[in-house]
Amino acid sequence: MDWPQQAVLVTGGTGSFGQHFVRLMLGEFRPRRLIVLSRDELKQHEMRVAGLIDPSLRYFIGDVRDESRMRRAMHDVDVVVHAAALKQVETCEYNPIEAINTNVLGARNIVDAALDSGVGKVIAVGTDKAVDPVNLYGATKLAAEKLVVDSNSYSGRDGTRFSCTRYGNVVGSRGSVVPLFQAQRASGVVTVTDPRMTRFVLTLDQGVRFVVDCIERMRGGEVFVPKIPSARITDIAEAVAPGARVEIVGVRSGEKLHEVLVSESEARRTLDRGDHYVVTPVDAPWSDGDWEGDPIAEDFSYRSETNDKMLGVKELRDLVASVP
């Protein structure tokens, strides 16, 4: 992909993912125009103060709920990375309509604006919470994922291409357990919901680079799933706050013991590509259907507790230390 010829828009551009994406784009890929779209003028100002200033960079105030604003933002844009979302599980449970308006109807506005503006590629940043969801956040992300993938039908064979990524917990991002354990470390006590809990983990840089790689690979309709390690919550606690007493507080509403990145029901249309899986669409009239990759077993599922790569305390400590 010839990045210096591309105009790129990232929604949720002032979030953890968005800021790292901007740094990577400016530092390595140098698109002709890079648009940061978010609702928060303060965070945009803070990005400028932090040195994220470049002739190619545009700061654009807007909300994915506003379809007309999305059309304006996508004028002469080639690639859209859709990372805006309400993602706190408890917040979504308490504010269900707001979660739907942002995560589902916001995704619809991205799709409609991209189709009407002639955008070349749209990729949405997803989550393992969308697989077999047990909370509203996961349900909205599943709906958004289905909406994005199936919207290739609207553009036909030669129009806008839509794909998704799906991965696990980003170490050190806002809302992750690592900052919580770091804050609790001084007290000598860390709170764990259930000692059996496991999660998929990756760094922010790994997640952002995976999305960039998927933009270059995508043909439309894929859900890209990286092969990433898992970790036990108790090992994460020991890595971040060694020697601290662990207080068990019980599983919160809408929380799973383990997460899934590829479900058994998706296995029959999932392909193995070495370092990642691709979940192909149920039906793809916009494509010739010749997807690359090796079929996996029909009873396969990619689960955090049975993952063949489980990080130990030392590996987790190194992983946390690598996060800026």
Reply yes or no on whether 146 is catalytic: no
Residue among 121, 129, 141, 256 flagged as catalytic: 129
User: What is the full DSSP assignment across 231-280?
Assistant: EEHHHHHHHHSTTPEEEE--PPTT--SS-EEE-GGGGGGEEE-SSEEEE-
67 closest CA partner among 115, 122, 123 = 115
Distance in angstroms (rounded) separating the CA atoms of residues 151 and 115:
9
Residue 23 CB-density burial (10 A; 0-12 exposed, 13-18 middle, 19+ buried): middle
The 8-class DSSP code of residue 102 comes to I
User: Are 123 and 78 within 8 A, CB to CB?
Assistant: no
Cβ contacts of 291 within 8 Å, gap of 6 or more: 219, 222, 271, 278, 280
H-helix segments, 9-135:
16-24, 41-49, 67-73, 89-94, 96-100, 106-117
- Catalytic positions are 129
